[in-house]
Amino acid sequence: GESVGLHLPTLSVQEGDNSIINCAYSNSASDYFIWYKQESGKGPQFIIDIRSNMDKRQGQRVTVLLNKTVKHLSLQIAATQPGDSAVYFCADSSGGYQKVTFGTGTKLQVIP
């Protein structure tokens, strides 16, 4: 069936470096994409979203890039901090439908 998945289960980065977390999706009808951050012991929290009519969207220290041609999504975190250590999930929905499908997650470890 259709799925949203991640390339790497764990990513280790040095504090202050930039982080890039990747996500591949397979549903060509997906038109809304979201990144969530989950800290230990908590529920996921919204970071940033992007619609399929955009290629790039920027937030505070985060940028999401969407490549519809290869069905690829990435989250870039600038100047990674210890507080960025968490599991990151990409998620998608399609056609205005309310169902949201999540990927398997990437664990980001920030090395001080």
Nearer to other proteins, 41 or 112 (CB): 41
Among 27, 49, 57, 61, contact with other proteins (rule: CB under 8 A):
49
101 is a site residue for other proteins (CB under 8 A): yes
**Residue 61: CB minimum distance to other proteins, A:** 18
Nearer to other proteins, 14 or 104 (CB): 104
Task: Report the site for other proteins in 80-99 (rule: CB under 8 A).
Answer: 89, 91, 93, 96-99
Please name the residue that has the structure tokens 């290629």: 55
45 is a site residue for other proteins (CB under 8 A): yes
**Residue 12: CB minimum distance to other proteins, A:** 18
DSSP secondary structure, the chain, as one string: ---EEES-SEEEEETTS-EEEEEEE--TTEEEEEEEEE-TTS--EEEEEEETT-SEEE-SSEEEEEETTTTEEEEEESS--GGG-EEEEEEEEETT-S--EE---EEEEEE-
